[in-house]
C-alpha cells in the first residue's frame, strides 16, 4: 500500500511539473499579426513603359541569357500587368511562355519581386498561393523609374536562379 501511495505521489508530481511548464510557455507570436507602420511595397504608379524601352529591356535580358547559352521566354508588362512586349528565344521551353507572362504580371500587380513571394511560401506561408494572380517563383521583377512603377519583367525557361539573373540584366538596362 505504501508503494502505491509513493507511486501516486510521484505521478502527481510529474503531472504538476508538466502543467507548470505548459503554463509558463507562451504561444509563438504569429508574424501575420504584426501591424506595420507603413504600407509594404507602396510604390506609386508612373507612366507605362513604352514599347521601345520594353524591347530594350528584352534585348538586354536575351543577351545575358545568350552569354550562358540559356534559352528564355521574356515578357514585359505595364504597371497594370498588360503585356507590352514578349520574346521567345530559339529553343526556349514552350510551357515557359505563360510562366514568363505570369511572373511579369505578378511582379507588376503586387509591386514586388516574385522571389519575395517564393521566400514567404518557403518560410511557411502557403496561404499566399491561394491569392489570385500569384506565382511564387523567382524571375519576376518590377521595373521602377524615378521611384515609380512603370511595369515589370518576367523571365522563364531555366532554373529560377537563371531566370532571375536574366531578369536583373533586363532591369539594369532600364537605368
What pLDDT does residue 35 have? 86
What pLDDT does residue 36 have? 81
The full set of domain ranges for the chain reads 2-33, 51-174
Is 51-174 CATH 3.90.1150.10? Answer: no
pLDDT digits (tens, 9 = 90+) for 39-82: 888 899 999 999 999 999 999 999 999 999 999 999 999 999 99
The model's pTM: 0.81
The least confident of 17-31, 60-74, 79-93, 127-141 is: 17-31
What pLDDT does residue 5 have? 52
Work out the pLDDT band at 108, boundaries 50, 70, 90: very high
Three state DSSP letters for the chain: CHHHHHHHHHHHHHHHHHHHHHHHCCCCCCHHHCCCCCCCCCCCECCCCCHHHHHHHHHHHHHHHHHCCCCCEEEEEECCCCEEEEEECCCCCCCHHHHHHHHHHHHHHCCCCHHHHHHHHHCCCHHHHHCCCCCCCCCEEEEEECCEEEEEEEEECCCHHHHHHHHHHHHHHHC
Amino acid at each position: 500500500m505504501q508503494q502505491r501511495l509513493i507511486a501516486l505521489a510521484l505521478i502527481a508530481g510529474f503531472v504538476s511539473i508538466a502543467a507548470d511548464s505548459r503554463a509558463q510557455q507562451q504561444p509563438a507570436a504569429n508574424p501575420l499579426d504584426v501591424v506595420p507602420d507603413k504600407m509594404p511595397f507602396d510604390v506609386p504608379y508612373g507612366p507605362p513603359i513604352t514599347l521601345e524601352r520594353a524591347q530594350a529591356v528584352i534585348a538586354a535580358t536575351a543577351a545575358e541569357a545568350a552569354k550562358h547559352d540559356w534559352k528564355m521566354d521574356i515578357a514585359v508588362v505595364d504597371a497594370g500587368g498588360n503585356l507590352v512586349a514578349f520574346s521567345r528565344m530559339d529553343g526556349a521551353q514552350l510551357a515557359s511562355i505563360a510562366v514568363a507572362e505570369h511572373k511579369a504580371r505578378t511582379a507588376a500587380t503586387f509591386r514586388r519581386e516574385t522571389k519575395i513571394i517564393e521566400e514567404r511560401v518557403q518560410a511557411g506561408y502557403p496561404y499566399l498561393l491561394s491569392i489570385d494572380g500569384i506565382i511564387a517563383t523567382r524571375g519576376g521583377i518590377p521595373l521602377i523609374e524615378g521611384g515609380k512603377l512603370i511595369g515589370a519583367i518576367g523571365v522563364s525557361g531555366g532554373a529560377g536562379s537563371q531566370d532571375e539573373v536574366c531578369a536583373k540584366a533586363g532591369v539594369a538596362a532600364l537605368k
